Amino acid sequence: MSYVRLVDVTKRFGEVTAVNKLNLEIAKGECFSMLGPSGCGKTTTLRMVAGFEDLDDGEIHVGERLLSSKKKGYYLPPEKRDFGMVFQAFAVWPHLSIYENVAFPLRIRKLPSAEIDSRTKTALKATNLLDVAKKSPEDLSGGGKQRVALARALAINPDVMLLDEPLSSLDPHLREEMRFEIKDLQRQFGFSIIYVTHDQAEAMALSDRILVMKLGVVQQIDTPMNIYRRPANKFVFSFIGLHNFLEVERKEGAYRLLAGEALDKNLTPPQDLATEARLTLASRPSEIDFVDDGGISGRVIRKSFLGEFVDYQITVGEQTVRVQKGRRTQGPEKDENCRLQLLHPVWYKVDE
């Protein structure tokens, strides 16, 4: 059952439409990520849910509450929406102790002292900060400061947690650690998460569902697995994970790589694309095998050892293909010829 609902939500900045008629439903307790390149509208959408931006059209609901409606002339300010919010900047106050940083929003609400103490300690315990509660946040690492921001958001007992690039300023090891801590906190407290990021790995690790946006328009909403395995269009395929795009043309009844060889007869487009004169053949670098016979011929121009896998760049006619294989997989050397088999090819129109 949907809990957060956006109905035909639209936001314009001058002549630019940042978000265009967005319809979205998020379940209670769901972790929902918005993913896309800079300028796609994901942060603007989050700011409209938070109340930092008003709508130009549409409505936003949470549970039975109406938060914003341009048509009805209704707008609930951010401080009355009772959302937990964590942003890229830690926004901790160095002149206050960690305890007081977390307690501050509760004091603003003028809650009883006993309730402030109970909620603050619960949030500090959940984020492993209780033992350092009397210290300054300046004594903590970047990950520790982000925990303070999380604890402060948890203390208000939010039904919805809004996270805008909260881990982007952390180093890779801390980012990986914190993403799992956020997921554990969600399971413990049961709140919904709306998470904005451009980091695909974060979105895939945290999310129950992912929305991929481009220029304010939804491209696909689905589970991480389906987004990766069954992208709705060429843009989603290109944005999620590594990709290869090979241009293919139809000549004399056969499909050929541009300035290259004819494709194996088993490598043909689906029926609905069979009349197209030119197509794009898409594949993942991790879903290509080296084979002795058949497939596509190529030549290795670069071979790089990257720890758990080996990364190859291979010329195919006048185009290049990237291949990644496990470090224990036997593969060709630089300047050697090879043959490639695409394991899960996907076909798109060239201008899609």
**Distance between CA atoms of 237 and 235, rounded to whole angstroms?**
5
User: Tokens 């956006």 sit at which residue?
Assistant: 6
Clarify whether residues 211 and 246 are in a common domain: no
Question: What band does 4 get if pLDDT is binned at 50, 70 and 90?
Answer: very high
Final residue belonging to a domain, choices 205, 237, 269: 237
**Distance between CA atoms of 26 and 251, rounded to whole angstroms?**
48
**Distance between CA atoms of 300 and 315, rounded to whole angstroms?**
7
Over its C-alpha atoms, the chain yields an Rg (Å, rounded) of 25
User: Roughly how many angstroms between the first and final C-alpha of the chain, as a whole number?
Assistant: 34
| Phi, psi (deg, nearest 5) at residue 300 | -75, 125
| Phi, psi (deg, nearest 5) at residue 103 | -75, -20
Q: Which CATH number covers residue 177?
A: 3.40.50.300
Clarify whether residues 232 and 247 are in a common domain: no
pLDDT digits (tens, 9 = 90+) for 158-193: 989 999 988 877 788 888 888 888 888 898 888 999
Q: What angle separates helix 172-189 from helix 113-126, to the nearest 10 degrees?
A: 130
Q: Which residue has the higher pLDDT, 141 or 76?
A: 76
Highest mean pLDDT: which of 2-6, 139-143, 265-269? 2-6
Q: Which CATH number covers residue 291?
A: 2.40.50.140
* Among 130, 137, 182, residue whose Cα is nearest residue 161: 182
Clarify whether residues 273 and 227 are in a common domain: no
Is the pLDDT at 22 greater than 90, yes or no?
yes
pTM of the entire predicted model: 0.87
Clarify whether residues 345 and 273 are in a common domain: yes
Clarify whether residues 185 and 267 are in a common domain: no
What mean pLDDT comes out for the span 210-229?
A: 94
Final residue belonging to a domain, choices 182, 208, 237: 237
Cβ–Cβ under 8 Å, residues 339 and 331: no
What mean pLDDT comes out for the span 333-338?
A: 95
Total domain count, the chain: 2
Clarify whether residues 328 and 296 are in a common domain: yes
Clarify whether residues 22 and 123 are in a common domain: yes
* Percentage of the chain modeled with pLDDT above 70: 100
Clarify whether residues 183 and 255 are in a common domain: no
Angle made by CA atoms 27, 154, 184, in degrees to the nearest 5: 65
Q: In this structure, how many other beta carbons lie within 10 angstroms of the beta carbon of residue 272?
A: 8
Residue 192 belongs to domain spanning? 2-237
* Percentage of the chain modeled with pLDDT above 90: 66
Cβ–Cβ under 8 Å, residues 124 and 101: no
Is the pLDDT at 92 greater than 90, yes or no?
no
Q: What is the pLDDT of residue 221?
A: 97
Cβ–Cβ under 8 Å, residues 293 and 334: no
**Bridge partner residues of 246 (DSSP):** 281
Q: In this structure, how many other beta carbons lie within 10 angstroms of the beta carbon of residue 248?
A: 24
Clarify whether residues 315 and 333 are in a common domain: yes
Clarify whether residues 39 and 188 are in a common domain: yes
* Among 257, 248, 245, 244, residue whose Cα is nearest residue 316: 257
Output the six-digit token pair for 115. Answer: 């309730």
Final residue belonging to a domain, choices 217, 237, 257: 237
Output the six-digit token pair for 269. Answer: 């487009």
- Listed in sequence order, the residues at least 6 apart from 225 whose beta carbon sits closer than 8 Å to its beta carbon are none
Clarify whether residues 7 and 154 are in a common domain: yes
Question: What band does 222 get if pLDDT is binned at 50, 70 and 90?
Answer: very high
What mean pLDDT comes out for the span 239-246?
A: 93
Clarify whether residues 310 and 330 are in a common domain: yes
* DSSP assignment string, 215-272: TTEEEEEE-HHHHHHS-SSHHHHHHSS--EEEEEEEETTEEEETTSPBPPTT----GG
Q: What single DSSP character describes residue 332?
A: P
